[in-house]
Structure 1
Amino acid sequence: MPLKERIAEIESLRGIAFAAVVLQHSIAHFSLVPEAGLEDGVLLAILLMTSKFAVPLFIFITGMVLFYNTGEQLKYGRFMQKRLTDVIAPYVVWSLVYFTLTPQGWAGISWQDLPELGLKLLTGKTTSHFWYIIMLIQFYLLFPLFLKAVRYVYNRYDSRGRLVAVLITGAVYLVLADQLRNIARVMERLNIPVLTDVFTTYADRNFLYFFFYFVLGAAAGLSVKSWNMWIHRLRWVYWTVFIIMGLRFTYLLMLEFQKPEGIQISFYTVSLIRPDMALFLIASIMVMYQLAGKLHNHLAVGWLGWIGSVSYGGYLMHMLMLRYSYIPDEYVYVAWGLNPTLRMILTWALALALSCVLTWCISRVSWLKWIVGTVPKANFRK
């Protein structure tokens, strides 16, 4: 079967999503520095809201690419073999890295550590950002079920029926997100081994609380032309939602900063799993897709495509690169008297660059490729 034409926007979207992930984690660090004042909190809140789409966008991209590229018959064994080598194996390697990493340096692994390590591997707890990998693996494991259900709707109904199906699925997802706490209370009372933990302790990595972004990507991947048409037709709708909801969440964050003991910058208000945030994130995905489609600067498209090509390995290692990127901040940026927001931007840029370059360098060595997954070639001259 001939290869399908690549979706041009996907290359840029991956780069945008990864840059946004690193930005969010940079913001989280600098929101806690003692020098950060209210003015920094406001700027950090705005930057956070404009990058909040990162993980939902990655899920959307995954759904779109999988449904776009999968033929009439899914060879599940080969499909999972590729995910094992390109996704799971690098995840295990970097989990070992983070598990042995302490504030004082590197530590070894003893036999007594193996049960703890095994649990953390299964739950993505070796470091804070690996929850996403565990959630992603669930979509891979359940992909045949998603494929069967989505294709049933696609083949049975016309374009209007498919749109209604997407809207109904979205409504179900919003209700699910709204009932997160109630579901957790019920599961705690039932106290079912493993299952209760899935909806309580590990609810933040339960695929059910993110499935609509995958389904939205599936709808886009099965009918790219229709998706692009709706991106054009609805541009005033999703831009309005994006701006209004973004301003609303920024305001809520600023209210959260006001504590009796003084200004304290925190971002607990903007959890990913809540219905109003879901509406903002869906609008954000559409905004980013439109912007990616309008990028006519060949150099910018090339660089974003390159960043996207190394995004998985970069995602795995970026928290470690951030740790080293804090060194110039501690010894240089503070001495220069830079404000926390500017220090954050410099740290973000350095961590992003280190993650991308190191991933690319590792991928050039054939016997090391499994550490960062497959890195496709990016065209800088588009």
Structure 2
Amino acid sequence: MARERIEEVALLRALAFLAIVMQHSIAEYIYRADILQPDAVMLGMLFHFTRFGTPTFVFLSGVILFYNYTDKLDYGSYARKRFKEIFAPFLVWTVIYWATISLVMDYSFADLNTWRELGRQLLKPTYGYHLWFILMIFQFYLLLPWLLKLAAPLRRLATGRPDRAFQRTVWLLVIAAAAYGVLMWFSYYRAGAAASAAGGLWEWLLVYRNMWFVFYFFYFMLGAVCAYGLARFREAAVRSLVWNGLLFIGLYVWIGYELLGLSMQDMKLGASTYLRPITFVLIVSQLLAAYGAVVVLDRHGGVFKKMLAFVGKHSFGGFLAHAYILMFVSFYTRQVELAGYHLPAAVLTFVVVAAASIGLSKAASLVPFGWLLVGSQGRWRRKPTAGTGAGG
């Protein structure tokens, strides 16, 4: 039986993509030596407004995987598909970023160290600094058979008596959120000291904790709840839209106050990290409010919905490409005196990078083997399909 298409996923994916592009555009300007305090303050506040981007991508991955693979999973076929759609573009873009930086820095391709650096980039990307997310989210993909078994209670809750199932699901989420909050407390307040004391492998694991799936498990679990109880989740998100919005505003002001209090000489954006307990609560409230908003938007339609749907459709390729576009934009902006204009420069950069990245993703989706750059939205080798005369 054909499943219902979850239209709001593309809309929410677009918002998450735009938030990430905004974050990276802000980071390009906020630490420049000539920035004035008003611009720095506004960019800092705008930065922590967009922190929901990465966790929302994790949430949406959970929604899609648990929604599509509730029945029997052919792991071999599934793994090949995910490698082709997700990991192959990661490999290609890692090489692109590595080759470009090597050329700009005039590294010799005859030097063995240049090729060793490619190996390091495949394990811990820094040239394509956003590609760490692919390595992290792929851990969820590889562990899906076991995660499906762990999520079986959620599936039973979602398919049981509606009221009782909903109440139990809420309590389960509360318990999971509390456990995740403790993990975030450890991550933000204790992990640094623990890493130094541990040494060896444990030090490495803790230092690079942002790359491990366990530090994002709550968002993935929330995605499973959404997938298994889609209609009820939509209803709850819409009904709580105002309350989640008010909670987000309160936390946004609180964290903004802390951010400004810590930022005496320059902005300390670490106060807005999503591996912090209070930021976790802020992100969840913002994510749920955004979900309710896109459900309402989907019901009413309009030009804005069509625009977000287009961006969401091509957001994976745009995500992979946006740091590359930003690299070329910054090559020119770093040569310009911008004192007093860093805020409008960051916003303009965001518009240019987002538009160019989605345009590049769309263009790549139209050419043969475009999937190597943009994943499943790119063209595969087409074979005529009976009855249509076109590839599917």
TM-score by length of 2: 0.87
Distance, in Å, in 2 between the alignment partners of 1:225 and 1:108 is: 57
CA contact (8 A) 2:59 2:223 kept: yes
Instruction: Identify the residue that residue 178 of structure 2 maps to in structure 1.
Output: 171
Distance, in Å, in 1 between the alignment partners of 2:75 and 2:98 is: 31
Distance, in Å, in 1 between the alignment partners of 2:294 and 2:337 is: 36
Instruction: Identify the residue that residue 388 of structure 2 maps to in structure 1.
Output: none
Distance, in Å, in 2 between the alignment partners of 1:232 and 1:290 is: 4
Deviations 1:16-64 (A, max 9, x none): 1111111000111111233422211222122212211000111111101
Distance, in Å, in 1 between the alignment partners of 2:319 and 2:108 is: 24
CA contact (8 A) 2:238 2:296 kept: no
CA contact (8 A) 1:123 1:202 kept: no
1:313 aligns to 2:317 (yes or no): yes
Instruction: Identify the residue that residue 79 of structure 2 maps to in structure 1.
Output: 80
CA contact (8 A) 1:124 1:133 kept: no
Q: Provide structure 1 residue ranges, at least 5 long, that are not aligned to the other structure.
A: 378-382
Describe how 1:1-382 pairs up with structure 2 within 5 A.
2-102=1-101, 105=104, 107=107, 109=109, 110-155=111-156, 158-180=165-187, 181-183=189-191, 185-186=193-194, 188-191=196-199, 193=201, 195-198=202-205, 200-259=206-265, 264-295=266-297, 296-327=300-331, 329=333, 339-375=341-377
Distance, in Å, in 2 between the alignment partners of 1:12 and 1:376 is: 20
In structure 2, what residue type is equivalent to 1:155? Answer: R
Distance 1:323 1:116, change over 3 A: closer
CA contact (8 A) 2:322 2:357 kept: yes
Task: Quote the offset at 1:308 in angstroms.
Answer: 1.2
Distance 1:299 1:338, change over 3 A: farther
Task: Quote the offset at 1:233 in angstroms.
Answer: 3.2
Distance 1:196 1:145, change over 3 A: farther
Task: Quote the offset at 1:183 in angstroms.
Answer: 4.7
Q: How many residues align?
A: 368
Distance 1:82 1:170, change over 3 A: same
Q: Provide structure 2 residue ranges, at least 5 long, that are not aligned to the other structure.
A: 380-392
Task: Quote the offset at 1:126 in angstroms.
Answer: 4.0
CA contact (8 A) 1:124 1:134 kept: no
Distance, in Å, in 1 between the alignment partners of 2:67 and 2:14 is: 19
Distance 1:251 1:189, change over 3 A: closer
Distance, in Å, in 2 between the alignment partners of 1:286 and 1:108 is: 49
CA contact (8 A) 1:31 1:266 kept: no
Distance, in Å, in 2 between the alignment partners of 1:191 and 1:327 is: 39
Distance, in Å, in 2 between the alignment partners of 1:342 and 1:103 is: 31
Indicate the RMSD between aligned Cα atoms, in angstroms. 2.4
Distance, in Å, in 2 between the alignment partners of 1:329 and 1:89 is: 32
Identity rate, percent: 26
TM-score by length of 1: 0.89
Distance, in Å, in 2 between the alignment partners of 1:239 and 1:95 is: 38
Distance, in Å, in 1 between the alignment partners of 2:132 and 2:121 is: 10
CA contact (8 A) 1:100 1:107 kept: no
SS at match of 1:268: helix
In structure 1, what residue type is equivalent to 2:310? Answer: W
Distance, in Å, in 2 between the alignment partners of 1:77 and 1:206 is: 23
Distance, in Å, in 1 between the alignment partners of 2:3 and 2:199 is: 48
In structure 2, what residue type is equivalent to 1:145? Answer: W
Distance, in Å, in 1 between the alignment partners of 2:249 and 2:108 is: 49
